[in-house]
Structure 1
Amino acid sequence: MFLDKYDVIVVGAGHAGCEAAAAAANLGSKTLLVTMSLQNIAQMSCNPAMGGIAKGQIVREIDALGGYSGIVSDKTAIQFKMLNKSKGPAMWSPRVQSDRMRFSEEWRLMLEQTPNLDFYQEMAAGIIAEDGKVVGIKTALGLSIYAKTIVLTNGTFLNGLIHIGDKQFGGGRAGESASYGITEDLVQLGFQSGRMKTGTPPRVDGRSLDYSKMRVEPGDENPSKFSYSNITKPLAVQRDCHMTYTSPLVHDLLREGFERSPMFNGRIKSLGPRYCPSIEDKINRFADKDRHQLFVEPEGWNTCEVYVNGFSTSLPEDVQFKALRSVEGFENVKFFRAGYAIEYDYFPPTQLKHTLETKLISGLYFAGQINGTTGYEEAASQGLMAGINAALKAQERDEFTLKRDEAYIGVLIDDLITKGTEEPYRMFTSRAEYRTLLRQDNADYRLTPMSHKIGLASDDRLRRMEEKFDKADKMVTFFKETSVSIAEANPILEAKESSTITQGDKMFKIFSRPQIEMEDMMRFEKVVEYTQENNLDTEMLEQAEIQVKYSGYIEKERTNAEKLHRLENIKIPDNFNYDALKSLSYEAREKLKKIRPVTISQASRISGVSPSDISVLLVFMGR
């Protein structure tokens, strides 16, 4: 094996590494996945859940592109919820509660069944590069393994340091050692590195909790699923989650330990995720709040281990325990393990291209927390894109990238490489200016044809997508062409407190009213007959409804996206001399030289580059 030369080596088997390895192997590249522990493949290091606001859209995009995260999430889910259903479809976000042990097992089984993929358990301890090009990796045992391209997905392991109160020790995750050597090699090659931190709550024994004092949080009555494929099914049975609250007493008990908290006494200097703050952060930043929500989430179907979502902390374990015992329902709680914070090395992502290849070393790709992101979904999507591009480069094929109006993944990568990040980056719907186009329901329509073209999405995936949207389009035409009488329409309109009609009208016009839903339209016999005759499923009906109700918004956003494309089409040469443009502001010149944008559109999104700077560039380029 060690004499083999690979097309792609993926270092790290977290969410980014697993997607990278699967994508590269499925594109026909001879791939090696190197990890310190084959038992912990795709470990859910923090909460046992996939999806959520904007993150659910990313999982559906990964699935539409031919990645595995959606399928694994469906197969190992214990609860499904579609969040934000009270808002428009651009905000709907799927989320599953997962069985942590089954999730990791299912990922491993899927990877082992993937052709072209080898595994090796050892620490990768260095990078081998020659003449500005990566050629392999060094292992802790002194082996050299060679490849055309390398994808680094090191998570929180690079020089990882775990903090619990005034104690600290090396580690990449609880119970696992940190990884050493790669940061030092990359810095020597000229890369800039930094430190970030993240935290996790205590895990507790569910048998010691009093659920009767908590609010039940059930899954959806009619659950959906992540994957567009037909190899997974919605859950027939679900497990409940629960919710309880902290209190002023809990806050006072936690404050007693602040001076022993590494975050407050200055021992941790790196920045943590603003949008997933620790409990001590929340008490400090929101001093006016006398309580905070705690979601009590089971870790699987059969285990009694429970994740206390909302109680992330690095306080001393005795303080954690005392405070948690004062939470309603937790009076007799027993700990499985304490919460902790972890510091680790990352590399500012402005050092990357849109393909996630580094600008400095050809053939070297970064994905996941090494780029300063937080979250399984963000990591998995980067892994997928890095794995695709590493394989395409090894095969001397054209690169594959996604624009901001094509996918949340496109927004994520563009934000990272254009703006960089000084705190762990998390995706939100508000980050996507074209979120009406980037809905969770149409990720297959947006991305499956692109993925099929490069050879990742299967023929069956493409056929299923085309059938779904063809049938939805035909149903919209049916609504436009079919009339209803006063007698048919008014009882339905009255029931929904919508103004009645005085003459027959087209179904499309009735359906366009905000109060009327597909459920109401199914009260028309003609609609029921049409649905049955054409064998329309729930996804097709949902798609038709969105097209009827939101066509105006979608069209407006599409027009705006086309304007963006005009600037995307104006390329900036690699060796462009910004110093020659004296009319550029000093800040713009420095930022443009550092980030080296590929297009005028990307240049316009760099912080510090003003509209007048863009005008100077456009004039110089003859536009």
Structure 2
Amino acid sequence: MKKVYDVIVIGAGHAGIEAALAAARMGKSTLLTTLEKAGVALMPCNPAIGGTAKGHLVREVDALGGQMGLSADEALLQIKMLNRGKGPAVFSLRGQADKALYHDVMLRVLENQKNLDVLYDETTKILVKDGVAHGITTLENGEIEGQAVVIATGVYLNGRTIIGAETKSSGPVGFKNATHLTDNLLSLGIDIRRFKTGTPARIAKDSIDYDEMEVQEGESDIGTFSFMNDGNLYSQMPCWLTYTNEKTHEIIRKNIKRSPLYNGTIHGIGPRYCPSIEDKVMRFPDKTRHQIFVEPEGRDSDLMYIQGMSSSLPKDVQEEMYHSIKGLTHARFIRYAYAIEYDCINPLELSSSLQVKRIKGLYSAGQINGSSGYEEAAAQGLMAGINAALYVDEKPPFTLNRDEAYIGVLIDDLVTKGTNEPYRMMTARAEYRLRLRQDNADLRLTEKGYSLGLATEERLKKMQERREEIERIVRLSETVKIKKENGGIFERYEGVQVEKTMPVKEALKHPGITFDVLKEVTNAFSEFSKSALFSAEVMIKYAGYLEKEDAAIRDARRLEEKILPEDIDYNALSGLRIEARQKLSKIRPATLGQASRISGVSPADITVLLIYLKTAK
């Protein structure tokens, strides 16, 4: 008799891994199915984790007890802090990762995880009876029963790769694609779309002239992704910066009719914020050059990733345009750039728990939900795995509000607003950025992860110690004084004269004064960690702004606390406009707050719903 699983996860990419590990760590017997071993934790595009807003997501996944941050730290080649010229709300870690090592680390974690089995097979069908998922059918192992199912198939559903006139039914990097599951999802009434993404060429590292490019070194002592690590990364590898030029752009313009993107070969919708080089040249004709970063794919890899040169142009055109770029004149192609089209679900089909609305026990996470990026996928996978485990235990779902985490913003955007193109997380999407910093993700989320049975006691203890350290720093800043005779630091770092004694807390309100600067005049804070000092400094320096954000959060929460009945008949509410009725009936928001964020629902419509809720009581 075949084993019956609590949770079955389809796909072992960044979403599937987090989903499977979350369910298994929460004590559920879990099966992770994927097409082939080599595709586990595959990084088919850039060899990097993090980036603007994405670094926030990695920290949040880590704080809840997820795996991405820990594995990324093991595989890091280089790390940098982005957005240093902006405020601390948008500081974001980005790390170059060794692709092969990242795969190996994740594979080891999966194989050693209690309650988790891994099966290499293609899933062809979701088993559904009376609107409830109860397992899957696979190509070689037949039916497998499970109480909850998570779909995390990435870009593999009917994947098709495109290079010029060459098209191939394939997953990324030439891997096998999944050709059966889409038809099954359509038969279940799920709305399927076609999206597209792309990746640059991979160039032999010994064919590049590095002297013609600008070296880009990593940074030290800026922390790593996981709160469980000491924050130091040794032996970093450099990247390089070069640029396209007018010759490159002329080659692209001359051959644009051969571009699948412009001649109708590609039908899928591509990502707005990660366009191909031909798209950049055609959309921004006034730009005389575009940045190109040359990045190593691993310590022992012969491949270099050419970031910024994503393309689907024919091979001969790719060679001509790459060879027109400084440092790449003699570039030898190991793998040509390609575009990939794939099937994905309309995320409006999902509730805030990532459960498919029409099918109980069926969850969906990652690029199949219309998002782009490893980090967005991991965040959704973690949440889907948590909620699948809670569903098995007949417990309420776990969701995060927009004021609690970037994960909450990501999922709310997808399931409330939907997306007509691959969705990318950005700091601008979050209303409460100062609250949702990457440095305080543990303070915001680790207790939640622990209460779910996901974050370990060791992780909780580490967070509590860090929180106490931050509180001690804040208290000490009220009593330690900067003496009048040390006022020269204000002139040196701010260009202003200050001739009075003041507490450190007051001194930090000056933009140019930091704990680093204060080391020159006091050693009262020398015992504290750099991460705790940074978090305390932001809390002190931006206290007024944080109070304003908190007030806005309280106002927004009033709408979030007003629950809309699941069976509400929007067509029967006479005060609603037609568009609002249609959108509300389709999306069926859980709260008045969610309803207010639906495109096409006006403040007047919200007032109608508010009156309805009052009279319905």
Is TM > 0.5 for Structure 1 vs Structure 2? Answer: yes
- Specify the alignment match of 2:578 in structure 1: 586
CA contact (8 A) 2:121 2:141 kept: no
- Specify the alignment match of 1:496 in structure 2: 493
**Is 1:512 the equivalent of 2:509?**
yes
Q: Secondary structure at the match of 2:52?
A: coil
Describe how 1:513-552 pairs up with structure 2 within 5 A: 513-525=510-522, 528-532=523-527, 536-552=528-544
Partner residue of 2:274 out of 276, 298, 306: 276
- Specify the alignment match of 1:366 in structure 2: 364
What is the identity, as a one-letter code, of the residue corresponding to 1:167? E
| Cα offsets for 1:380-407 (capped at 9, x unmatched) | 0000000010011112222111000000
Describe how 1:324-473 pairs up with structure 2 within 5 A: 324-473=322-471
Structure 1: how far apart are the matches of 2:524 and 2:578? 67
What is the identity, as a one-letter code, of the residue corresponding to 2:42? Q
Measured after TM superposition, the shift of residue 39 of structure 1 is 2.2
Structure 1: how far apart are the matches of 2:576 and 2:487? 64
What is the identity, as a one-letter code, of the residue corresponding to 1:201? P
Measured after TM superposition, the shift of residue 499 of structure 1 is 3.0
Measured after TM superposition, the shift of residue 501 of structure 1 is 3.2
Q: Secondary structure at the match of 1:402?
A: coil
Measured after TM superposition, the shift of residue 147 of structure 1 is 0.2
| Cα offsets for 1:562-599 (capped at 9, x unmatched) | 11111011000000011111110000000000000000
CA contact (8 A) 2:51 2:92 kept: yes
TM-score normalized by the length of structure 1 = 0.97
After alignment, is 501-510 or 551-560 more displaced? 501-510
- Specify the alignment match of 1:216 in structure 2: 215
CA contact (8 A) 1:257 1:316 kept: no
Q: Secondary structure at the match of 2:140?
A: coil
Q: Secondary structure at the match of 1:508?
A: helix
- Specify the alignment match of 2:153 in structure 1: 154
Structure 2: how far apart are the matches of 1:397 and 1:380? 23
Measured after TM superposition, the shift of residue 504 of structure 1 is 2.1
CA contact (8 A) 1:511 1:549 kept: yes
CA contact (8 A) 1:31 1:116 kept: yes
Structure 2: how far apart are the matches of 1:474 and 1:156? 48
Measured after TM superposition, the shift of residue 375 of structure 1 is 0.2
Structure 2: how far apart are the matches of 1:502 and 1:215? 45
- Specify the alignment match of 1:98 in structure 2: 97
Q: Secondary structure at the match of 2:466?
A: helix
Describe how 1:474-485 pairs up with structure 2 within 5 A: 474-485=472-483
Q: Secondary structure at the match of 1:496?
A: helix
Structure 2: how far apart are the matches of 1:345 and 1:579? 32
What is the identity, as a one-letter code, of the residue corresponding to 2:310? S
| Cα offsets for 1:194-224 (capped at 9, x unmatched) | 1000000000001000000001111114342
Q: Secondary structure at the match of 1:621?
A: helix
Describe how 1:2-401 pairs up with structure 2 within 5 A: 3-141=2-140, 143-230=142-229, 233-401=231-399
Structure 2: how far apart are the matches of 1:145 and 1:170? 27
Measured after TM superposition, the shift of residue 142 of structure 1 is 5.7
Structure 1: how far apart are the matches of 2:309 and 2:560? 43
Q: Secondary structure at the match of 2:119?
A: strand
Structure 1: how far apart are the matches of 2:495 and 2:329? 51
Q: Secondary structure at the match of 2:80?
A: strand
Partner residue of 1:569 out of 561, 567, 570: 561
Structure 2: how far apart are the matches of 1:576 and 1:237? 59
Q: Secondary structure at the match of 1:267?
A: coil
Structure 1: how far apart are the matches of 2:409 and 2:176? 33
CA contact (8 A) 2:65 2:454 kept: yes
Q: Secondary structure at the match of 1:531?
A: coil
What is the identity, as a one-letter code, of the residue corresponding to 2:173? A
- The root-mean-square deviation of aligned C-alpha atoms, in Å, is 1.2
| Cα offsets for 1:356-382 (capped at 9, x unmatched) | 010011000000111000000000000
| Cα offsets for 1:61-88 (capped at 9, x unmatched) | 0000000000111110000001011211
After alignment, is 129-138 or 461-470 more displaced? 461-470
Measured after TM superposition, the shift of residue 255 of structure 1 is 2.4
| Cα offsets for 1:321-355 (capped at 9, x unmatched) | 11101111111110011011111101100000111
Structure 2: how far apart are the matches of 1:288 and 1:227? 42
Structure 2: how far apart are the matches of 1:497 and 1:125? 64
Q: Secondary structure at the match of 2:148?
A: strand
| Cα offsets for 1:271-298 (capped at 9, x unmatched) | 1000000011001100111211110001
Structure 1: how far apart are the matches of 2:524 and 2:593? 49
Pairs aligned (count): 615
Structure 1: how far apart are the matches of 2:317 and 2:562? 58
CA contact (8 A) 2:592 2:606 kept: yes
Measured after TM superposition, the shift of residue 420 of structure 1 is 0.5
Unaligned runs of 5+ in 1: none
CA contact (8 A) 2:18 2:381 kept: yes
**Is 1:602 the equivalent of 2:602?**
no
Report the identity percentage: 46
Measured after TM superposition, the shift of residue 481 of structure 1 is 2.2
Structure 2: how far apart are the matches of 1:97 and 1:546? 27
CA contact (8 A) 1:498 1:515 kept: no
CA contact (8 A) 1:161 1:170 kept: yes
Measured after TM superposition, the shift of residue 233 of structure 1 is 4.5
Structure 1: how far apart are the matches of 2:581 and 2:494? 59
Measured after TM superposition, the shift of residue 498 of structure 1 is 4.2
Structure 1: how far apart are the matches of 2:154 and 2:259? 24
